[in-house]
Amino acid sequence: MGRVDPAFDTYRLSDEHEALRDAVRALAEKEIAPHAADVDERVRFPTEAHEALVKAGFQAVIIPEEYGGQGADELAGCIVIEEVARVCTSSSLIPAVNGLGMTPILLSASDELKKRVLPSIATGEAMISYALSEREAGSDAAAMKTRARRDGDDWVLNGTKCWITNAGESTWYTVMAVTDPGKGANGISAFVVHRDDPGFEVGPKERKLGIAGSPTREIYFSDCRMPADRIIGAEGTGFKTALRTLDHTRPTIGAQAVGIAQGALDIAVAYAKERKQFGKHLAEFQGLQFMLADMAMKVEAARQLVYVAASRAERGEPNLGFISSAAKCLASDTAMSVTTDAVQLLGGAGYTKDFPVERMMRDAKITQIYEGTNQIQRLVMARALLKG
């Protein structure tokens, strides 16, 4: 058998990746995990996690060095998100949504706009959110109603965006808006809005099942005015940029889901070793051994697919839609399954807030919904299979 083609040796975690995992896990265990229950209970932003991530430089590791960042690859970005999500999903949305908000800028913005926005995120002075969805334009994002019109040296936005993660905490917002209604998806453009732009407002927090510590709000544009050079790429290319963005960021949601599932599995294993029934530890019952084995198998399969997707995205391979959607879909379905099994394995204890698994089960659900529902992921995969 000849040498394996490097294209199929999609990744092998480098020593740097392993060191990064160890560092993020240590930080998460010490600085983030102790506050996770309180963040969820009080529905508050995880300030301790934000401060710890910024101090360690983990809030946005993929920003290139030329813009003040660390220049880490997309796999490293996934590892950070995974390890934070293992102890607190809400906190993992700090690096995850920074990545989502700035990916359109990295992909399509002018160098001048990159220099204006990215350094403040690299230092942790600012966060960035992503604004695509509207109440009547979720899965059908191209049906958006938010409008942008050119007025001399400015763009003026009007409309409402919803489900905006970290809205109110972020300084910058990547916003998709219609600039030419007659062109459908080709009439959508992307912009970077600053929270101090006149005509920009943030709505009240949504009351959610999970990720309680990450604020989700509507944002409003009422003749919101910004300089013309805050457009990302050419006019009319915004929706294409949005779709390319998802190819890169769906694996990060997969990484978040893997982290949640791993956290739940770790708790379930520890509990099974400690808890006794009928004079034996739970870990001695074959039925529960099989349950844990299935949970671990699913987590590892999801992790491998996420890492492959992130590695292919980093290389800029064509036709990323299938692998990115597959990674997000499999990992989020796994997170929901594994967290539910963890609650079941812990029994009555798992149903209480004395253990984190009930929170993890609630948090896991959103990974099947945002950045495209898993029904949409399956549509993307099917189209990739059936095209041509």
Find the radius of gyration of the CA atoms of the chain. Answer: 21
Give yes or no for a contact between 195 and 121, defined as CB atoms under 8 angstroms apart.
no
Q: How would you write the chain as a 3-class SS string?
A: CCCCCCCCCCCCCCHHHHHHHHHHHHHHHHHHHHHHHHHHHHCCCCHHHHHHHHHHCCCCCCCCHHHCCCCCCHHHHHHHHHHHHCCCHHHHHHHHHHHHHHHHHHHHCCHHHHHHHHHHHHHCCCCEEEECCECCECCCHHHCCCEEEEECCEEEEEEEEEEEECCCCCCEEEEEEECCHHHHHHHEEEEEEECCCCCEEEEEECCCCCCCCCCEEEEEEEEEEEEHHHEECCCCCHHHHHHHHHHHHHHHHHHHHHHHHHHHHHHHHHHHHHCEECCEEHHHCHHHHHHHHHHHHHHHHHHHHHHHHHHHHHHCCCCCHHHHHHHHHHHHHHHHHHHHHHHHHHCCHHHCCCCCHHHHHHHHHHHCCCCCCHHHHHHHHHHHHHCC
**Whether the Cβ atoms of residue 191 and residue 161 lie closer than 8 Å to each other:** no
**58 φ/ψ angles, rounded to the nearest 5 degrees:** -105, 5
Question: CB burial class (10 A; 0-12, 13-18, 19+) of residue 10?
Answer: middle
Asked about 314 being catalytic, the answer comes back as no
Alpha-carbon distance 302 to 299, whole Å? 5
Q: Which residues are catalytic?
A: 371
